[in-house]
Each structure stands twice: as structure tokens, then as C-alpha cells.
């Protein structure tokens, strides 16, 4: 087992490739999303996407934010070799909505919002209230785990070189 | 309770190691051993410890107060006192001048100045109330997974240190490689392939 600090630096790209692949899946292969969570109604890019391109001694960073921001600049950055470093996503299931930002280098979540739940009216209701919150957080975490698992399985298989890379390349080229 | 905030940050960990049975008693002992201690009216600058989720200012781990369904819930509390550097300098200069006047000497040695600064810090710390920061924790013991409701580097490092000291268990952050290794059901061959991966270039 690798040391955490070594693993963090050496395999940071795995998180960036995962988010880049996830963007591709959202656009071109949503069946994978549905397989990961049959309750899913939709998964969309939210109000923030950050791409990074590493040079030998510097990092070029492109941030696109705003509720209805176009993703053309992001796609252009992708075509120039950048990868997704942060992605805000909106997950919907029926009438319920979750929103969160996932960071590639750590897979940490921030700005994580879950559907509103009824506030407890007595101390006895507190445990149920907290467990419902946990369930709502867990729903997204399990969904992300399944997607990451799928990505990693593809990534270590020969299909990545033979199939997935060219599909993602073609998607990048076809958009603009 | 950060867990109940409208918007949260979350870091995930794998918990490595086994606890002695009975598990709940071992955990309660670990929590009590490192429960947060109040540092107001004391010269300490910082305190780090466990506290209760629902009563962060009156920690209580008796019985199974930290058990919610299949989860163990408690919080990390970091109390810190902040004193503006200019305030420290002001009091240090006043104290230095007083000592020079008393001794009739023209200057103080470096050691004396450092000692004065430490004494000033102790005196000020004893008068300044600490600011508490509370970070919630959800521990799924069966799955050996822990959620920490903060992405702050310093808070995460305090958590990892205190967790090891309290329970003799190691927290491994589920960064991309670790998540792949621990949670992706890879075979040994696939783990070897994972170790040899290099970055994909989607251009060209």
C-alpha cells in the first residue's frame, strides 16, 4: 500500500480523469448513470466547473461559474489538454434535488446541499431527523462510489485504451 | 451542528484496524479519554477534543448517547484563542520597559525578551475567551467508513491525530488512489495495473 502523500501526488490525475469522464458520461452515455442509481431522474453540470492544465512548472486554471454559464470555454480547454479539477453537479430524483461540488484531487465534497426535511418538533424526533439527513447524504455518496467504481474498472481494463479514450477524444472534437 | 447546516463540506475516510470488544464501551472510553477541556481562564492557547453532537458545550458520552441507528455520531471541537500581534507587542514593550527601569540596565538579553513574551502570552491567554469550532463526524463502524464534515486541512489533520490517539485506529483519506484501492472491488491483478497507471491525454 502506498503512503497517502505519495498516492496523493502520483495519482491526482485519477480524480481529474474521473471528473472528465463523468462529464463525458453525462453528455454521451447517461445509461451508466442510471445503472449506478435507478432512482436518478437527471444529473447535470451545475454552477461551477474548473479545469486545469499542467505544464512543467506551472498550472493553467480555467474557472467557469454561474447558473447558466455556457460550457464552450470549458470544452475548448479540454481540447487543449486540460482536465476537470472541480465539478458542481445537480442530481435530481423525482421532485428532490441535491447539489454539490466534487474536487478531483481529493474527491472531497463541498457546497453539498440535500433536499429539505421537516424540522423535529421534539427532542424525541431528533434521532429520526438526523438519520434522515444521513440517508440523504449517503444517497449521493453511494451514487458517486458506484460511478467511481465503474470508472476505475474501465480504467484498469484494456477497454480504456481500445475504446474509451477515443470516444472521449471524439466527443471533445465534435462539440465545437 | 455542521451536519444539519444548509450546505456542508465533507471528507471521507476508511477506518483501518479493529477495536476491542465490547466495541461501544471501547469507543466511549476513547471519547472520554480525549473529551474537550475548557481553556477559558487558563493560559492555554488551543484545545482539541471530542464533544457530543447535540450538546457540544456539555459533552456527554455516557450510555450510548453517541449511537444513532447503525452510526456513531460525535464531533471534533477545536477551541482557539486569538490575540492580535500588536496587542502582544504592546504588553511586551510595557513589561520590558518596566524591567529595564527596575534593573537600571540599558538592554535585555534575547532570552529575557523571549521569556517576557511568553509570560505576556500566558497572561493574555488567561483573559481571552476561546473561539470554538465544531466539526461533526459520522462513523459507520460496520463498513469502516467515516465522514468528517470539513475539508479544512488543519481540522482534518487534528482529526487524524486525535482519532489515532483515542482509538488506536488509522484514518485513511479516500483520495483517488485510496478510493480505487479500498472501495472499487479490484482484483490483485487490477490493483497491480492501477499502480502502474499514467495520465491519459485526451488530445491529439
Q: How many helices (H) and strands (E) does chain B have?
A: 6, 7
* H/E element, A42: strand A42-54
Quote the ipTM score.
0.93
**Which pLDDT score is estimated for A25?**
97
Q: By CB neighbour count within 10 A (0-12 exposed, 13-18 middle, 19+ buried), where does B187 fall?
A: exposed
Mean pLDDT of all residues in B170-193: 93
For residues A72 and B171, which has the higher predicted lDDT (pLDDT)? B171
Q: Which of B53, B176, B184 to mutate to test the interface with A (most CBs of A within 10 A)?
A: B176
Report how far apart the first and last C-alpha atoms of chain A are (Å, whole number).
Answer: 42
* pTM more than 0.90: yes
Highest-scoring range by mean pLDDT, A49-58, B61-70, B154-163 = B154-163
Share of chain B above pLDDT 70, in %: 99
Q: How far apart are CA B32 and CA A23, in angstroms?
A: 46
B120 min Cα distance to partner chain A (Å): 38
Out of B11, B151, B177, name the one closest to residue A11 (CB): B177
Alpha-carbon distances, residue B160 vs A55, B16, B129, B171 (angstroms): 33, 12, 26, 6
Q: How far apart are CA A89 and CA A106, in angstroms?
A: 16
**Which pLDDT score is estimated for B202?**
87
Contact between A133 and B11 using a beta-carbon 8 Å cutoff: no
Residues 109-168 of B with CB under 8 A from A: 138, 147, 151
CA angle A139, B15, A157 (to 5 degrees): 65
The ranges assigned to domains in chain A are 4-175
B4 and A CB contact within 8 Å: yes
The ranges assigned to domains in chain B are 8-81+131-174, 85-125
Q: Name the grid cell of B45.
A: 492557547
Q: Which of A107, A132, A151, A158 to mutate to test the interface with B (most CBs of B within 10 A)?
A: A107
pLDDT less than 70: residues of chain A: 175-176
Contact between B177 and A78 using a beta-carbon 8 Å cutoff: no
**Which pLDDT score is estimated for B1?**
67
Q: How far apart are CA A52 and CA A50, in angstroms?
A: 7
What confidence tier does B146 reach under pLDDT thresholds 50, 70, 90?
A: very high
For residue A11, which of A134, A107, A117 has the smallest C-alpha distance?
A107
pLDDT digits (tens, 9 = 90+) for B87-135: 999 999 999 999 999 988 888 999 999 999 999 999 999 999 999 999 9
B101 and A CB contact within 8 Å: no
Amino acid at each position: 500500500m502506498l503512503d497517502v502523500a505519495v498516492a496523493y501526488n502520483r495519482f491526482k490525475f485519477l480524480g481529474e480523469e474521473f471528473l472528465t469522464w463523468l462529464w463525458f458520461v453525462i453528455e454521451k452515455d447517461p445509461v451508466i448513470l442510471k445503472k449506478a442509481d435507478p432512482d436518478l431522474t437527471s444529473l447535470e453540470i451545475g454552477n461551477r466547473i474548473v479545469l486545469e492544465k499542467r505544464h512543467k512548472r506551472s498550472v493553467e486554471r480555467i474557472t467557469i461559474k454561474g447558473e447558466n454559464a455556457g460550457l464552450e470555454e470549458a470544452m475548448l480547454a479540454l481540447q487543449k489538454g486540460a482536465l476537470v479539477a472541480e465539478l458542481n453537479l445537480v442530481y435530481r430524483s423525482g421532485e428532490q434535488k441535491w447539489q454539490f461540488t466534487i474536487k478531483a484531487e481529493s474527491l472531497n465534497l463541498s457546497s453539498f446541499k440535500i433536499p429539505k426535511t421537516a424540522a423535529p418538533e421534539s427532542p424525541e424526533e431528533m434521532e429520526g431527523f438526523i438519520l434522515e439527513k444521513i440517508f440523504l447524504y449517503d444517497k449521493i455518496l453511494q451514487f458517486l462510489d458506484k460511478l467511481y467504481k465503474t470508472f476505475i474498472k474501465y480504467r484498469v481494463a484494456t477497454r480504456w485504451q481500445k475504446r474509451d479514450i477515443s470516444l472521449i477524444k471524439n466527443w471533445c472534437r465534435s462539440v465545437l | 451542528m455542521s451536519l444539519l447546516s444548509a450546505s456542508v463540506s465533507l471528507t471521507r475516510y476508511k477506518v483501518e484496524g479493529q477495536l476491542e470488544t465490547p466495541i461501544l464501551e471501547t469507543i466511549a472510553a476513547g471519547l472520554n479519554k480525549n473529551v474537550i477541556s475548557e481553556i477559558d481562564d487558563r493560559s492555554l492557547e488551543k484545545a482539541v477534543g471530542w464533544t457530543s453532537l447535540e450538546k457540544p458545550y456539555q459533552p456527554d458520552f455516557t450510555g450510548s448517547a453517541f449511537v444513532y441507528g447503525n452510526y456513531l455520531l460525535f464531533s471534533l471541537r477545536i477551541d482557539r484563542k486569538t490575540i492580535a500581534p500588536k496587542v502582544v507587542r504592546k504588553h511586551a514593550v510595557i513589561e520590558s520597559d518596566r524591567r529595564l527601569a527596575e534593573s537600571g540596565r540599558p538592554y535585555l538579553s534575547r532570552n529575557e525578551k523571549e521569556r517576557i513574551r511568553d509570560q505576556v502570552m500566558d497572561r493574555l491567554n488567561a483573559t481571552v475567551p476561546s473561539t470554538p469550532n465544531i466539526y461533526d463526524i459520522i462513523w459507520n463502524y460496520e463498513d469502516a467508513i467515516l465522514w468528517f464534515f470539513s475539508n479544512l486541512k488543519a481540522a482534518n489533520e487534528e482529526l487524524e491525530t486525535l482519532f489515532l490517539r483515542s482509538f488506536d485506529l488509522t484514518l485513511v483519506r479516500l483520495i483517488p488512489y485510496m478510493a480505487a484501492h479500498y472501495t472499487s472491488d479490484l482484483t490483485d491483478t487490477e490493483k497491480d495495473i492501477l499502480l502502474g497507471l499514467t495520465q491519459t491525454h485526451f488530445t491529439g
